[in-house]
Amino acid sequence: MDTPSLEKATFGAGCFWGVEATFRQLPGIVSTAAGYEGGTYPDPTYLDVCTDQTGHAEVVQVEYDPRKVSYEQLLRIFWDNHDPTQLNRQGPDCGTQYRSVIFCHSPEQEAAARVSKEKLEKQRRYARPIVTQIVPASTFYRAEEYHQQYLEKRGLSHCHI
């Protein structure tokens, strides 16, 4: 039996609880993990990241089957489920850990992310400029277990803002 070749994608779009819940609902998503990425502090904890001093963003790393869901579809979900014009915040959450960011795992992902961002800018979908960072993936640190599938564990479908 041919084992599918899975791929990873990593997105920061504010608090990772709601982002993870959104991606978990998609067909073709094999797994999700809430975590931290993009900073310089090794092995950060949630408390470390909350200081806004580590440089890490709260992110969700998804493992997906590209035969069932494309990276472009994941990008659409990313753009549609947060405000990419808010610098270092989403809703009431403020700080660099809540920044809008796409961590790319390949040159192909980076190209697709840049094309999708340019398309949205040309469409003038947002009244303000898109501030989303598009950067190469770095070390992903899995968040503490109580953050994994946080909303699902509590019987919630979304974060209340």
Running DSSP on this structure, what letter comes out for residue 161? -
**What's the chain's length in residues?**
161
In the block, tokens 């502090």 appear at 41
What is residue 42's DSSP assignment?
S
Contact 37, 141 (CB under 8 A): yes
Answer for the pair 44, 144: CB distance below 8 angstroms, yes or no. no
**15 is annotated as an active-site residue:** yes
Which residue, chain included where needed, has tokens 């998609």? 26
- Active-site residues, by number, are 15
